[in-house]
Amino acid sequence: MTAQALVALPTTYGSIKRVYNALERYRKILITAHTRPDGDATGSSVAIARLLQAHGWEPTVALSPIGMGPPKFLLEYAHCIAPTNVKAKDYDAVLVLDCGGRERIPEGPLRDAVDKLPVICIDHHVVAQKKPFDIARWIVTTASSTGELIYQFAKRFKWEIDLHTAEALWVAIVTDTGRYAYSCTKPSTLKAGADLLACGIDAAAINDRLFLYASEGAVLLKRKAYDSLTTWFRGKVALICLTARDFKRAGVAKSEIEDAIDIPRSIPTAKISLFFYETKDKPGITRLSIRTRGDDSRYSSASIASHFGGGGHLRAAGCDLQMPPKQAIEHVKAYLAEILDA
């Protein structure tokens, strides 16, 4: 799919009312998000679970805490189970958040439940699939985060946001906006943040927990990432790379260095920033995080990721390459040489 085709896609699918009406038909709701849940996936799931429970539903959150990193503290705020413990017969429907397609649901009992039960979806990812896996959806691709959509959902139906729910929404929004620094931050995003602050959350303490505190291993791993920094095509592309061996030696998970992509992004000439990494649990498979800037119509993060079977947003996306990092780097470089006419 070309960058132009992605840009031409609609920005809103379904509606908030359709999602609410669908939820009204069920009571026992299984809530989940994409594999390797980040702050937005975790915060959104916990927040909507708390909101639904306060209004008569029986929600259960199914997210894996393994490798989740700092947002994991939110799992204490809702009834949560491991995806491997899901039994479809225990639920009436599934609410999928922050997930662009069925293939991003963890394999096993959780995906089986998604296949068997009615699925409702709230998301902000670019929608490319012709056959969505949901019966009702509210997808706004211009939203900063799924967390901002959950905040709007609560406001639309005049549901009170208590302290723990506000903390979960803060984590969701602040992580996906890069502390309100990314281009996805809109006036509505800042308004949501201001309202969450008014709920009494300790934003400074949460932000320190999310972005400042790090283990010695994580700091040393970032140094390794800095050492790998490389630029291509007269500085238009900047990249870093970490191998499974690097993660194993450091004794940390990728979730502990989520901001490593900011290393190549710090190069001012870089229109495309790349982070290649191979995790210790999946050696031989390279994950690629992509960030782009500028108005060049030849590329976007989503279009680059889509070319390699992934997806995401206009300026932030990712994909998996079924090859080790060295081979993956050359594979992606060859493609970028074509679209950049390098």
pLDDT tens for each residue of 195-230: 999 999 999 999 999 999 999 999 999 999 999 999
CB atoms near residue 323 (< 10 Å): 15
Which residues, other chains included, contact 338 with Cβ-Cβ below 8 Å and sequence gap of 6+? none
pLDDT the model gives residue 342: 59
Per-residue model confidence (pLDDT) at position 57: 98
Give the type of residue at 273.
S
Provide mean pLDDT across the span 35-43. Answer: 95
pLDDT of residue 296: 81
Complete edge-to-edge strand list for the sheet that includes strand 119-123:
12-14, 136-140, 119-123, 93-97, 28-33, 58-62, 80-81
pLDDT digits (tens, 9 = 90+) for 168-201: 999 999 999 999 999 899 999 999 999 999 999 9
Check pLDDT > 80 for residue 126: no
| DSSP 8-state assignment for residue 74 | G
In this structure, the strands spanning 286-292 and 237-242 are unpaired
User: Does the reported pTM lie above 0.85?
Assistant: yes
**Residue 5 has what pLDDT?**
39
- Please give the Cα distance from 41 to 54 (Å, whole number): 20
